[in-house]
Amino acid sequence: MESGKILMSGVCRMLLRAGGSGVLLCCVLLMQCAVISGQEFSGIRVPAGFRVELYADDELAHDIHSLTLDSRGRVVVSGPGYVRILLDSDGDGRADRFQQFADGPATGSQGMYFHG
């Protein structure tokens, strides 16, 4: 992943570089984002040197409640009725498929913790 890249899917993952050492931060964007022409994100402002890119669309993961990274660095998301691992099979920096990790819970925001 490039320094200063933000990956989007209703949630984001940022890689910041400070003094030569990388710091990985995970955050949840609690706002609605509109995709315009497949590349533009309405209402999202980021500091100079950062950019916003689509990582996964609504077909792969809709109404995301939680996001984490697993021990292999893969993006894991949960929403109503699913927990999914988002996969970038072709290495283009965008998820193109998912692996179903669990079915449920049906509703509600939840944190995610799993061993393995």
Q: How many Å apart are CA 50 and CA 109, to the nearest integer? A: 28
* Three-class DSSP category at 71: coil
Question: What's the pLDDT score for residue 47?
Answer: 86
Question: What's the pLDDT score for residue 115?
Answer: 59
pTM exceeds cut of 0.75:
no
Question: What's the pLDDT score for residue 34?
Answer: 41
Question: What's the pLDDT score for residue 12?
Answer: 40
Beta bridge partners of 46: none
β strands within 1-116, DSSP E: 5-8, 11-18, 21-28, 35-36, 40-41, 51-54, 66-69, 75-79, 82-87, 97-103
In the chain (116 residues long), the average pLDDT of successive 10-residue segments reads 38 37 36 42 79 87 88 91 94 94 73 57
Question: What's the pLDDT score for residue 91?
Answer: 93
